[in-house]
Structure 1
Amino acid sequence: MVTLIDNSRALRHPEKQKRPDSEVKRKPDWIRVKAPVSKGYAETKNIVKSKGLATVCEEAACPNIGECWDKKHATIMILGDTCTRACAFCNVKTGLPGAIDPHEAENTGKAAAEMGLNHIVITSVDRDDLDDGGAQHFVDVIESIRRQSPGTTIEILTPDFLRKPKEAVEKVIDVKPDVFNHNLETVPRLYLSIRPGARYFHSLRLLEKVKERDPNQFTKSGIMVGLGETKEEVMQVMDDMRSAGIDFLTIGQYLQPTRKHAPVDRFVTPEEFKTYESIARAKGFLMVSASPLTRSSYHADADFAQMKAAREGRRS
C-alpha cells in the first residue's frame, strides 16, 4: 500500500500540520453542489486570472463558486493570498505574506469593468505585518473601481484591524463603500479554539464604529454554525449585532476544508436555518440570509438591493 503525502497542503497550512486528524463528516444531501463546468464559470476564471487577481471563492474553497462565477460574480481577495492569522476554520494559505502587488488596485478596477459588475465584493487576508493592516490599499482599490466602473456598487469584507491605529479603519469608512462587512464568524465562547488571533468584542466594536462615523453606511456581519455553538449563543450574537447597529446578518453552515481543520460538530438542518432567519428578522435586521450554503458574498448583489428597499420601506 502506497501512502501519498500532499506537500502543497503542508506548505499551505504549516501551523496545522501537528494537529491530529479529525474525521471529515459526509455532507448531507442538502449541501451537495455540482462541479463548476459552465461557460460563464470559465469566462470569469479567465478574467480573474488574466488580471493576476486572487479570489476568496478559490482560496477558501467556497461551495458556491460554480453558481456565482457562472453569473460573473466573484469576490476579489486583495493584499495577496497569504494570511498572517491561523484560524481553525479557514482554508486560505497562512504564513508571511509578500509585498503588495502595486498593480492590484488598478487591475481590480479593470476586472470590475470587464465583467460589467453591478455589485462587487472586495475582501482580503489579514495583514498584521502592515502598519495600517492594509487599510490604505482598501481605499486605493475602492477608488480604482469607482474610476473604472462607476456604476458598480462596492461591498467590502475587511479584517479586524486589531492593534492598528484608529485612523486605519477611519480612512476605510471615509471612502464610503456601499456596504461595510466584517464577520464575527462564531460565538464568543468558541473564539479561543476557532478564531484565536481575533477578539469578539473588538470585531463587534469595529462595526459599531462604522455606524457612529457614517450612520447611512450599511453594515453587515456573519457567523458559521455547526461548530458546537448553542441556539441561545447564536441568539445572543444577534442581540449584540443589533446593539452595534448591524443591518445585515448572514448565517451559513461551517464546512471542514481538511482533516487538520476544526471538525464539523453537526450539520444544521434547513428548517433550523429558517428558524434562525425568522428570529433575526424579528430582532430588526434589515436583511437576513440564513441557509446551509449561505456565505458572506453569496447573492450579495440581490441582497444589497433588498436591503436598500427595506431601509426605504422603513423610512416611508
Structure 2
Amino acid sequence: MANLIDLKSNTPRPRHPEKQGRPDTPLMRKPDWIRVKAPTSQGYAETRAIVKSKGLVTVCEEAGCPNIGECWDKKHATMMILGDVCTRACSFCNVATGKPKPGVDSDEPRRVGEAVAEMGLSHVVITSVDRDDLEDGGAVHFVHTIQSIRACAPGATIEILTPDFLRKDGWETRVIDAKPDVFNHNLETVPRLYLSIRPGARYFHSLRLLQKVKDRDPSQFTKSGLMVGLGETREEVMQVMDDMRSAGVDFITIGQYLQPTRKHAAIDRFVTPDEFRSYEEIARAKGFLMVSASPLTRSSHHAGEDFAQLRAAREALIAARK
C-alpha cells in the first residue's frame, strides 16, 4: 500500500509510461488519526544497518510504509525479493515500475536467510515485485528463499505475500508446495475498480489463486488484503469479503489507501476509525479467523502477533468442533 512519509532519496526512479501520463491529482490533507512520526529509534537504525549490509530491498522502504518506524524498531522488516522494479503499473503503488534487469539474483535467498537469523525474527514476511518477464513469475526464487530461511532460522515461521502468477502455467504450485506458514495474496480493491487501480491483474484470477492454495494444502493459512478510500462502496467491500470466504481465506486485512504522489490514483475519502471497526465486526461475523482493520493496517503490520492469534483461533475452532 501507499506511502505517508517519504523515506527514500530524491533520486528519480523509473516509471511506467502509463503512470507518467496520468494528470496530477491533488494530495488530500490527512486527518489526525492517520499521522505518524518519522522513525528515529536505535532499533530502527540497527534494522536499517542489517538490511543494507546484506544488500536487501524492503517493501517498507520501497512503498514508503507509514509503519516503518514502529516495525523496524522491533527489527521487523518485510523483505522484497526479485529486485526493486515491478513490471506492473498499478496506480496505487509507489514501487518503481519498468523493465527489470534480466534474470534473478541467485544469491539473494542466502542473504535473506542470514538477515532473518541476524535479526532474530520469530516470524518473517517475504514479498516481491511482479516479474511478468520471468517464465515462472519468480516462483522458484520464492521457493529458494523459503528454503534458505528454514536453513538459517529453523524456528521462524514464514509468511509470503506473492504476486498473482498470472499466465504462468501453474508455477504457483511450486510455492504452495514449499509450505509457507501463511500464503498471502492481496486482492487490493473491489472488482469494479480493477481497470483503473490494478490494470495488469484480474480479480477472479487472484481469487482463484487463494482458492488453489486451500485446495492443494488445506492446512496452510491464507490471507488477503483490501485498501479502502478509493471510491468503493460498503456493499462492494462486503461482497469481496464473501468472495474471500468462498475461497477459504482465513485472514483479512483492511487499511486506508494513501496517495503516494500526484501521479497516483487520488484518494476518494478517508475512512473513519468507526467505519473500520464496523468492517472488522462484519468480517468476524462472516467467519474470518483473523481480522485486522484500521486506517494504518498494512499486510505485514504486526504480522507475527497476528499469526500467533490466527493459529490460536484455528486451534480453538478445532477444539469447539470436537
> Which band: TM-score by shorter chain?
over 0.9
* Aligned residue number for residue 278 of structure 2: 275
CA distance in 2, matches of 1:16, 1:172: 31
| Correspondence 1:215 to 2:218 | yes
Deviation digits for residues 91-142 of structure 1, max 9, x if unmatched? 0000111131121000000000000000000000000000000000000000
* Aligned residue number for residue 134 of structure 1: 138
Give the CA deviation at 1:17. 1.9
Give the CA deviation at 1:8. 3.9
Question: Secondary structure of 1:249's partner?
Answer: strand
Alignment length, in residue pairs? 310
| Correspondence 1:110 to 2:110 | no
* Aligned residue number for residue 3 of structure 1: none
CA distance in 2, matches of 1:204, 1:221: 9
* Aligned residue number for residue 69 of structure 1: 72
CA distance in 1, matches of 2:21, 2:317: 52
* Aligned residue number for residue 56 of structure 2: 53
TM-score normalized by the length of structure 1? 0.97
Question: Secondary structure of 2:14's partner?
Answer: helix
* Matching residue within 78, 86, 89 for 2:89: 86
Q: Is the 8 A contact 2:13 2:96 kept in 1?
A: no
Give the CA deviation at 1:10. 5.9
| Correspondence 1:29 to 2:32 | yes
| Correspondence 1:264 to 2:263 | no
TM-score normalized by the length of structure 2? 0.95
* Aligned residue number for residue 188 of structure 1: 191
**1:143-182 matched pairs, under 5 angstroms:** 143-166=147-170, 168-182=171-185
Deviation digits for residues 25-60 of structure 1, max 9, x if unmatched? 010000000000000000000000100000000000
**1:187-206 matched pairs, under 5 angstroms:** 187-206=190-209
| Correspondence 1:291 to 2:299 | no
Q: Is the 8 A contact 1:19 1:260 kept in 2?
A: yes
Give the CA deviation at 1:12. 4.2
| Correspondence 1:227 to 2:230 | yes
Q: Is the 8 A contact 1:10 1:17 kept in 2?
A: no
Give the CA deviation at 1:15. 3.5
Deviation digits for residues 248-287 of structure 1, max 9, x if unmatched? 0000000000000000000000000000000000000000
Q: Is the 8 A contact 1:57 1:65 kept in 2?
A: yes
Give the CA deviation at 1:14. 4.6
The amino acid of 1:138's aligned partner reads F
Unmatched runs of 5 consecutive residues or more in structure 2: 1-8
* Aligned residue number for residue 119 of structure 1: 123
CA distance in 2, matches of 1:47, 1:269: 37
CA distance in 2, matches of 1:171, 1:103: 19
Larger RCO of the pair (alpha carbons < 8 Å, separation 6+): 2
Q: Which runs of 4+ in 1 moved over 6 A?
A: none
